[in-house]
Structure 1
């Protein structure tokens, strides 16, 4: 029996870990293994398109690893002020992945987005033989921007546009579980949906960049190309979807997902979905994967999720003075060294109790 999509993702993260932590769910605390041979040695634990990609295109797998790490970093940035902060603690993170909660939906989406983004970027940088710049021969010319000085300007596609479709397809090929059993499982359906939402957060928001050409700064010809959004924009957009995520349940046919509640519109392809309520993450609980918020730094004056009232779950906080060393009095010496002194800085912190 082939493993489910959730198991395959877990195995994928295992294969990316250094040898001393093989078997752990997540490897953020240590550098991800970028050598595709180290990952592909264990292809027997993968299935279908994943194993095929690992065997035939190991350089793609190297970019998959980079994209996964990119997604992890962005997850930790976006959740840095929340009770669950996308912790890298492996024993607890495995419990998070086993649940169909909103946090897991974000992890799947940002990881799939990271893989798509990394592969596409590698194509544009000429680091992969299978792809390069986006082909633009059959595309209509870009619309001229309204404004002075644009009348009579010639337009054409050029430069090196990002081939986001290639990155999208490779991310889909590796991150999605392609097995018949998974298609009738609500957990697999949810994971596949969130993977797609992550990839669309990259593909659907391509922007057009242009460069003017002409004598004396004139713009007689404008060359344009398409670029991916910055990954921070992708993370911001997926966080908005996380805040408005849809709770769903499986339909009677086992192939559809139905929103829970009355008069709720069905989620679209870019929405994040989940089927179980999240724990409050206030106290440490190995069963749910919560590390708790005791000892977390909070903002005593903020009213948002970083504020001590919310982050500390009403338990209160204590103020503590710490002494940190920072670079100061930096000077540039020709050529090309920057020399700094070390200065001690006292900082007041608020910590959850």
Structure 2
């Protein structure tokens, strides 16, 4: 009786701690809930406390917020940028990233270690890095300035007969802040995780192979991949100086794409070839894989059918295109269930003419278009 009670108690403790640990390691992404903020002015530390209570900041992120309140409008912008970019890039796929708009509430697709969780972590990390890097360059963040060329970059300029100038986007500063902000919960929890795991008998649970460590590695790696994607998106621009348009002197600087979605496209490519972390991985064991790679620990469902336990909303009723063969094509989107076609009337202004003086008169043109929807 005593032995049976001990085993049962150990099993309950194991299940409870494992569930808690898995949830802990995925809370760092809740800050994307800031995309919906309309009532935070970021003028005092009280806004940071409210952000923690209402929008999902972790304890460590709240501490950073209090010390860097003036940075938080940029973090809020990054949350909005990450959420909208994700839904734009995945709008034609079965999983369309709509779950990010539920944050700070987290659905299973964002907490179970899927490749979808991986892309959201990477995009959000990239969005902060991108937003801060540009903020440094345009002068809206007084803690940083334009990018300062490294010694290697300076030597390259001398060799190629140009000089660094202008005001490049400061990706280095943006990445440093982003790392401290996005990785804080993962590193915070790592110490507590090890303490908790020691409470579990070694015969019940091997801490070297625990799922929690795998999630930790996954999240940190994908955060880093997001930052790396931004740095790899820097492009060099040059301006010529000289008499009568000659290019005696070239001044060059590096800047990011004007649209964040260009960075997002890089990460979507990595999402398509993401690498699965096998059981037994340890922190640091991914050092030989490319920093660009996205990683995951759980195979994703097919997202064909509605299943809230898996974070799948299904594709019934989703629009598709019968003429396409890719993700947005009806064959793929509808998962073999078929589709129905609806004829929709579209009314547009047309044949507009300007009349003196001063108004524009248009006719209404009616067109009929076909739309396909999954059964």
Q: TM-score range by the shorter chain?
A: 0.7 to 0.9
How far apart are 1:320 and its partner, in Å? 0.7
**Residue deviations 1:181-227, cap 9 Å, x none?**
36872212211111110110001332211011122221111110011
In the alignment, structure 1 residue 233 sits paired with structure 2 residue 262: yes
How far apart are 1:41 and its partner, in Å? 2.6
**Residue deviations 1:238-289, cap 9 Å, x none?**
111111100113427x53557xxxxxx9632210000111111111111111
Residue equivalent to 1:65: 76
**Residue deviations 1:129-154, cap 9 Å, x none?**
11121123844155599xxxxxxx95
Q: 1:351 to 1:163 in 2, by over 3 A?
A: same
- Return the match for 2:141 from 104, 128, 131: 128
Helix, strand or coil at the partner of 1:127: coil
How far apart are 1:49 and its partner, in Å? 4.4
In the alignment, structure 1 residue 313 sits paired with structure 2 residue 335: yes
Aligned residue runs from structure 1 range 78-89, under 5 A = 78-88=89-99
**Residue deviations 1:30-86, cap 9 Å, x none?**
xx6663357513366655642232112112111111112111111112211110111
Q: 1:43 to 1:316 in 2, by over 3 A?
A: closer
Residue equivalent to 1:26: none
Question: 1: distance between equivalents of 2:307 and 2:239?
Answer: 55
Residue equivalent to 1:302: 324
How far apart are 1:323 and its partner, in Å? 1.8
Residue equivalent to 2:42: 36
In the alignment, structure 1 residue 323 sits paired with structure 2 residue 345: yes
Contact 2:34 2:76 in 1 (8 A): no
Residue equivalent to 1:149: none
- Which runs of 5 or more residues in structure 1 are unaligned? 19-31, 146-152, 259-264
Query: Bigger CA drift: 100-109 or 79-88?
Result: 79-88
Residue equivalent to 1:90: 102
Residue equivalent to 1:248: 277
Cα RMSD between the aligned structures? 3.3
Residue equivalent to 1:345: 367
Question: 2: distance between equivalents of 1:243 and 1:206?
Answer: 23
How far apart are 1:17 and its partner, in Å? 3.8
Query: Bigger CA drift: 304-313 or 66-75?
Result: 66-75
Helix, strand or coil at the partner of 2:107: helix
Q: 1:14 to 1:74 in 2, by over 3 A?
A: closer
In the alignment, structure 1 residue 220 sits paired with structure 2 residue 226: no
Aligned residue runs from structure 1 range 1-353, under 5 A = 4-10=24-30, 12-14=31-33, 17-18=36-37, 35-36=41-42, 39-42=47-50, 46-47=57-58, 49-88=60-99, 90=102, 94-136=107-149, 138=151, 139-140=153-154, 142=156, 154-176=161-183, 177=185, 178-179=187-188, 180-181=191-192, 185-229=213-257, 230-251=259-280, 254-255=282-283, 267-329=289-351, 343-353=365-375
Question: 2: distance between equivalents of 1:96 and 1:39?
Answer: 29
Q: 1:15 to 1:296 in 2, by over 3 A?
A: closer
**Residue deviations 1:283-338, cap 9 Å, x none?**
1111111111111111102111111001000001111111234454457899x999
Helix, strand or coil at the partner of 1:194: helix
Question: 1: distance between equivalents of 2:352 and 2:245?
Answer: 38
Question: 1: distance between equivalents of 2:173 and 2:130?
Answer: 10
Contact 1:36 1:61 in 2 (8 A): yes
- Which runs of 5 or more residues in structure 2 are unaligned? 1-19, 195-211
Query: Please, what TM-score do these two structures have when normalized by structure 2?
Result: 0.76
Question: 2: distance between equivalents of 1:343 and 1:182?
Answer: 64
